[in-house]
Amino acid sequence: MSGYRPFIGLEIHVELATKSKMFCGCCADHFHKEPNTQTCPVCLGLPGALPVPNKKAIDWTVFLGLVLGCRINKHSYFERKQYFYPDLPKGFQISQYERPFCFKGWFDEVNITRVHLEEDTGKLIHRKIEGEKVTLIDFNRCGVPLVEIVTEPEIKSAEHAKEWLKKLQRVIRSLSISDCDMEKGSMRLEANVSVSKNGKLPSYKVELKNINSFRFVEKAIEFEIQRQTELFEKGQKIEQETRGFESDKGVTYLQRSKEEAFEYRYFPEPDIPPIVFTDGELDKIRKQIPELPEEKRQRFVKEYSLNEQEADYFVSNPSAAQYFEVLYLEKNFNLDFRETARLIINKKIDWENISPADFKAEVAVLQEGGLSDQVELAKAAKIVVDGNPKAVADYRKGKTNAVGFLVGQMMQKTKVDPNLARQELLKILE
Amino acid sequence: MDIVDNSIRETVDLFKKRKISCQEIVRACFERIEKYNLSINAYLTLNKEQALKKAQDVDNNRVKGRELPPLAGIPVALKDIYSTKNLRTTAASKIIDNYLPAYSATVVQKLESVGAIIMGKVNCDAFAHGATGENSDFGSVKNPWDLEYVAGGSSGGSAAAVAFGGCLMAMGTDTGGSIRNPASYCNLVGLKPTYGRVSRSGVISMGSSLDSMGHLTRTVEDCALVLSVTAGYDPLDATSSRKPVDFYLQDLSHPAIKGLKIGLPQEYFGRELNPEIKTLILKAAQQFTDLGAEVDEVSLPNTAYTIPVYYLIMSSEVSANLARFDGIRFGHAREMFGEEAKRRIMLGTFALSAGYYDAYYLRASKVRTLLRQDFEKAFAKFDALLAPVVPIKPRKIGEKEQEKLKLYLEDYVTGPVNLAGLPALALPCGFWHNIPMGMQLIGPQFSEKKLFEVGQAYQDVTDWHLKRPPLVEEMG
Amino acid sequence: MKTTKISPQKVRQVAKLARFTLTDNEIHKFQGQLETILEHFETLGKVQVEDVEATYQTTGIKNACRDDKRQHCSLTQKEALQNAPNTQKGYFKVKGILPEN
């Protein structure tokens, strides 16, 4: 650019898909529920109510940390992060500071500083009611377990940030611990951006908040790098501050200056005893780590000679991947891997509705050409329809899969292209 | 003397012998309340309708010959920091003078499940901040023994309510001495259980790592009975202990004192201790010797640091615990906090703030370890420790105004027990002029059963606990 | 222990963190009181605490967790709102604040 190098670090919050909240037994699924209908004295912050941690949330945090290559603090504890805000009923958030569950990780060539566990806050809605500005608060979301992932400032560009985050999202989704969806708010982002000319990490960083899509991450960071570079070129100083992102204008704006920064006064949470892990427990969690998307993609490319796009398709569609691999399990199928992949990806064979055995049969027919004469096709189709009243009735009831069964029946009797067979059958059935 | 001046045990006996009914005793307590509460200011909120209704239910069950649970029909008062569902809970502070909890504390539910009758909520120092009962936003609690004197604190209302016959037992809390101190002032038995022995769920937190949920009764036996009900693990309190609850009443009829080693912490008997009070405690020590115990001196060398350690840790926890009072979901604006609450919040916020955390909060937490170790070393040689509860002469109402901050310094005999999480049993052991005076027995964690035995042995040979305040004696 | 002098500015800062609005008189009063209290606490600075672990809890309990089960403990909307000074159609209501997140 102009000799200024950006330093970008990311903070990602992920809502865990546990059944209950982090410190109480309230339902954690808060999407589209009537306001303040899923609260209890604990998550509402009523005097006297005490927090009791959700074991699954802790296990999943460690699980995620291990997947992200982190070291685990075998002796860990929660802390109180104190500040006042209407969405924070206790006046502090139970979070982690000195000893997070996970630290010093590594994912897709970026160092991860820490992965820790905390509770979510309530939701604020800003409105104007009868000319007066009000803020409405719903505590249904308050207390839902939230994992925070913090990276070192090693992200190189706005585009890198976007790509890295997409990969992270894919991995987290593959673990089935969160639907990690930015639109639903189960994945939230903050970016810390600074620039420097001398290649050294600057002493300040600007926190960007209120970014709720991958596209906006890229735009916000791009804008911010530009804004900071321009300020430096004018000879101005930049201090620690928090900025929001206005998506329609594509600009960042000041939210909190350094002087207004919260001072959190962390101290160990006295209501929750420390959490201690044994080596045995950590091994057990480690063993549950599945094949990760990147590993799978590489394996599909290597083992099956697929290209990147084809491998990507199977990584993004786990059921297709499973079907594909089952086809080759019995070693009685020798269609070229890439051919099979194409048949599945392009849905040339209706693989979702037929068994792998039937799939193999259809392939065999395709390979040998098969019946194509219209009259013969129509005859064969009629025989099958007459001979299978139940399947026909099912189809008429709305079970469209039944036609697949009839195709199979046709193919058992004669060599025929499955698509042509289907066409004929449907002519009769409609 | 009246039926309301009996112990719980005596009352249960009278119930069993059909000499009195539950409704009679509940009504008698309400009569006392009507007569004396205005001048003593113990009760803030009464639960009369519900209490009488429940009393009726208990009597009906009795008549039907149903077996009654251990505290059936016993009138109980609750310090106004115990959440009671739909019964006003104020913490004696104007900031939540209209708060109706939507749930009840675990201990309250336990008491109700064994038939206890909740008479109402009693006064205390606001948010339990104080040792005289004068920090209440609803007026000071007066000592039934002499209305010019304080009832002690912070559970002053709890003590006064039992002392004047407005109930037969009361729940309080002890964070730095707040059950033992008013027990001493009002001639009652006061138990501060081991931290974690009784659930804190539903009780407005003061110092989260220090708060103990205890109670005040007339006798040691009553005290043991109540602990059998309130003690036990609670899944709603992560700091509550899973240790099985002892059979506290089991050996009370034959307490084993012979050969018991009782230590007198020399640092508690120094220059600061009022000589007349010292005499009373040493007399009690002699009585233990006469009973066969071995009494000797012991040192708790880090005692001098108690006050800074206690106040820094307690205020830090308080400052965080009172942050939820923001006037949004309940209560009024933060300006409505009383002066003492504001002071402690300011002190705690300061102790946790950047640049001061290490020198204050962290350092205090480390010295706390040294104080714990003092006790561990002492209990390697001794079974229990005997100590004063109130080290200075009893205070008259209004005295503390001139020496607000000096008051903090008196917690040095009670505070260490909370810092170490130990149990302590306060017992009447005499009088300073016309005001009762108590002593405390401190034991290792979960040694309540032993403390009860020692206390019972003492009450078997003394009659301090049988005395009642003059105004009650006058009633006849 | 560094100092027992607390500036009025520090008192104001602490008051802000504690969400208190104090008058100048109150700032002055608290300044005096805090200084007095902290002066009494100076002895703490003399204690040898190297190699001493801090005590945050006295129970020795570890791993006090709960299973991930939904409890039927929730309050109704009415109960949740029952003490609130201001509500609006099921929400708690406060004066408008600048949106941050």
CATH of the domain at A385: 1.10.10.410
Contact check, Cβ <8 Å, C100/A255 = yes
Give the whole-angstrom CA distance, residue B105 versus residue B81: 10
Quick one: which of A189, A190, A184 has its CA closest to A17?
A184
Query: Best residue in C27, C53, C58, C62 to probe B by mutation, most B CBs within 10 Å?
Result: C58
Q: Which amino acid is at B141?
A: V
Q: Are residues A202 and A149 in the same domain?
A: yes
| Residues above pLDDT 70, as percent of chain B | 97
Q: How many CB pairs under 8 A join A and C?
A: 138
Q: How many CA atoms lie within 13 A of B349 on its CB side?
A: 28
Is 90 exceeded by the pLDDT of residue A366?
A: no
Distance (Å, whole) CA B163 – CA B160: 5
The total domain count for chain A is 3
Residue of C nearest to A36 (CA): C77
Chain B residues touching residue A140 (CB < 8 angstroms): none
Q: Is the pLDDT of residue A1 over 60?
A: no
Nearest chain A residue to C57, by CA: A270
Is the CB of C95 less than 8 angstroms away from the CB of A35? no
pLDDT score of A131 more than 60: yes
In a domain, C2, yes or no: no
Q: Do the chains contact at B96 and A47, CB–CB below 8 Å? A: yes
Same domain, A398 and A340: no
Looking at the predicted structure, is the pLDDT value of residue B466 above 90?
yes
Q: Which of A292-301, A378-387, B27-36, C31-40 has the highest mean pLDDT?
A: B27-36
CA B290 vs CA B35, B65, B284, B439, B457: distances in Å = 43, 46, 10, 17, 11
Indicate the pLDDT class of residue A205, thresholds 50, 70 and 90. very high
Report d(CA B179, CA B166) in Å as an integer. Answer: 18
Domain annotation covers residue C73? no
Tell me how far the alpha carbon of residue A165 is from its chain's centroid. 10
Q: What is the dihedral angle through the alpha carbons of B269, B273, B277, B282, rounded to the nearest 10 degrees?
A: 10
The answer to whether C98 contacts chain A (CB < 8 Å) is yes
A12 and A124 assigned to the same domain: yes
A229 and A371 co-located in one domain:
no
For residue B214 the two structure tokens come to 């205890």
- The three-point CA angle B79-B36-B391 to 5° equals 55
CB distance A92–B323 less than 8 Å? yes
Confidence of residue C95 (pLDDT cuts 50, 70, 90): very high
Residues 6+ away with beta carbon under 8 Å from A30: A38, A140, A141, A144
Which domain covers residue A171, as residue numbers?
5-287
Q: Give the pLDDT of residue A416.
A: 76
Q: Which candidate from B327, B345, B362 shows the least CB-CB separation from C18? A: B345
Establish if C19 touches chain A: CB-CB under 8 angstroms: yes
- Say if residue A54 is in the same domain as residue A155: yes
Backbone angles phi, psi at A209, to 5 degrees: -120, 175
Structural tokens at position A286: 């480690």
Contact A338, A371 (CB under 8 A): no
> What gap in Å lies between CA C14 and CA B349, rounded to an integer?
6
Residue contact B239–A41, C-beta within 8 A: no
Q: Residue A37's pLDDT is what? A: 96
Whether A159 and A261 share a structural domain: yes
Q: Which of B81, B89, B316 sits opposite A267 (nearest CB)?
A: B316
Inter-chain CB proximity C91 and A125 less than 8 Å: yes
CB contact (8 A) between residue A27 and residue C70: yes
Name every residue whose Cβ is closer than 8 Å to that of residue A190 and which is 6 or more positions away in sequence: A10, A11, A12, A13, A207, A208, A209, A211
Three-state SS annotation for chain A = CCCCEEEEEEEEEEECCCCECCCCCCECCCCCCCCCCCECCCCCCCCCCCCCCEHHHHHHHHHHHHHCCCEECCEECCEEEECCCCCCCCCEEEECCCCCCEEEEEECCEEEEEEEEEECCCEEEEEEECCEEEEEEECCCCCCEEEEEEECCCECCHHHHHHHHHHHHHHHHHCCCCCCCCCCCCEEEEEEEEEECCCCCCCCCEEEEEECCHHHHHHHHHHHHHHHHHHHHCCCCCCCEEEEEECCCCEEEEEEECCCCCCCCCEECCCCCCEECCHHHHHHHHHCCCCCHHHHHHHHHHHHCCCHHHHHHHHHCHHHHHHHHHHCCCCCCCCCHHHHHHHHHCCCCCHHHCCHHHHHHHHHHHHCCCECCHHHHHHHHHHHHHHCHHHHHHHHHCCCCHHHHHHHHHHHHCCECHHHHHHHHHHHHC
Q: What is the mean predicted confidence (pLDDT) over A375-387?
A: 82
Q: Using CA atoms, how far apart are residues B149 and A71, in angstroms rounded to an integer?
A: 61
CATH of the domain at A337: 1.10.150
C14 vs B contacts (CB less than 8 Å): 346, 349-350, 353
pLDDT digits (tens, 9 = 90+) for B196-238: 999 999 999 999 999 999 999 999 999 999 999 999 999 999 9
Buried/exposed B117-154: b ≥16 CB within 10 Å, e otherwise: bbbbbbbbbbbbbbbbbbbbbbebbbbbbbeebbbbbb
Q: Is B83 a catalytic residue?
A: no
Find, among A229, A210, A215, A206, the residue nearest to A161 by Cα.
A215
Of B103, B337, B420, the CB nearest to C58: B420
Is the pLDDT reported for residue A296 higher than 80? yes
| A396 and A262 belong to one structural domain | no
Looking at residue B476, what is its pLDDT?
Answer: 42
Find chain B residues with C-beta within 8 A of A82's C-beta: 320, 323, 352
Catalytic residue at B258? no
Instruction: Name the H helices within C4-93.
Output: 8-17, 24-40, 77-81
> Directed axis angle between helix A389-397 and helix A402-413, to 10°?
150
Per-residue pLDDT at A308 exceeds 70: yes
Count structural domains, chain B: 1
Mark yes or no for CB contact C61/B347 under 8 Å.
no
What CATH number has the domain bearing residue B213? 3.90.1300.10
Q: Which tens digit of pLDDT belongs to each residue from B51-69?
A: 999 999 999 999 898 888 9
| Structural domain for C37, as ranges | 8-46
Q: Which of A199, A262, A220 is nearest to A10 (CA)?
A: A220
Assigned domain for C99 exists: no
**Contact B421/C55 with Cβ under 8 angstroms?**
no
Do A90 and A222 belong to one domain? Answer: yes
In this prediction, residue B147 has a pLDDT band, given cuts at 50, 70 and 90, of very high
The per-residue pLDDT for C99 is 64
Q: What are φ and ψ of residue B200, in 5° steps?
A: -95, 0
Residue of B21, B158, B178, B316 marked catalytic: B178
Contacts of C98 in chain A (CB under 8 A): 255
- Mark yes or no for CB contact A52/B103 under 8 Å: no
Among chain C residues, the shortest Cα distance to B312 is held by: C41
A20 and C90: CB-CB below 8 Å?
no
In a domain, C1, yes or no: no
What CATH number is attached to the domain comprising C42? 1.10.20
CA distance C15 to chain A (A): 12
Per-chain mean pLDDT for chain B: 95
- Other C-beta atoms lying within 10 Å of the C-beta of residue C29: 15
Choice among A191-195, B65-69, C93-97 with the minimum mean pLDDT: B65-69
pLDDT in tens, B101-133: 999 999 999 999 999 999 999 999 999 999 999
Q: What is the pLDDT of residue B404?
A: 65
CA distance C47 to C32: 25
Confidence of residue B474 (pLDDT cuts 50, 70, 90): low
pLDDT, mean over chain A: 91
Residue B89: list chain A partners with CB under 8 A: 47
- Global confidence as pTM: 0.89
Distance CA B231, CA B210 (A): 17
Mean pLDDT of B21-31: 97
What H or E segment, with its residue span, contains residue B184?
Answer: helix B180-186
Please give the structure tokens belonging to residue A312: 């990507």
pLDDT at C1: 43
What residues of B are in the A interface, CB distance below 8 Å? Answer: 81-83, 89, 91, 96, 99, 101-103, 105, 200-205, 208-209, 235-239, 316-317, 320, 322-326, 328-330, 349, 352-354, 357, 361
- Which residues of C, range 30-49, sit inside 8 Å of A by Cβ? none
Chain B residues close to A80, C-beta within 8 Å = 320
Sign of torsion, CA C41 C43 C46 C48?
A: negative
Average the pLDDT over each of A192-201, B234-243, C68-77 and give the range with the smallest value: C68-77
The answer to whether A91 contacts B354, with C-beta atoms less than 8 Å apart, is no
The reported pLDDT for the residue numbered B403 is: 66
Do residues B202 and B106 make contact, with C-beta atoms less than 8 angstroms apart? yes
With tokens 């219209």, the residue in question is: A374
Question: Which whole number is the average pLDDT over B383-409?
Answer: 85
**Owning domain of residue B365:** 3-475
- C-alpha span between C86 and A127 (Å, rounded): 15
pLDDT of residue B402: 60
Pairing of strands A75-76, A79-82: unpaired
Q: Which of A77, A133, A272 sits opposite C96 (nearest CB)?
A: A133
**A242 and A334 housed in the same domain:** no
Chain A residues near residue B349 by CB distance under 8 angstroms? 265
pLDDT at A334 over 90: no
Q: Is the dihedral of CA A83, A88, A92, A97 positive or negative?
A: negative
Residue C37 lies in a domain: yes
A274/C70 Cβ within 8 A: no
B79 catalytic per annotation: yes
Residues of B in contact with A94 (CB under 8 A): none
Distance from CA of C78 to the nearest CA of A (A): 9
- Write out pLDDT tens, residues A67-83: 999 999 999 999 999 99
- Name residue, tokens 């119930």: B15
Count how many domains chain C has.
Answer: 1
- Please give the share of chain C, as a percent, with pLDDT higher than 90: 78
Quickly count: other Cβ atoms within 10 Å of residue B262's Cβ.
21
CA A311 – CA A298 distance, rounded (Å)? 8
Q: In this complex, which of B329, B364, B372 lies closest to C84 when CB atoms are compared?
A: B329
Q: What is the mean pLDDT of residues A365-376?
A: 68
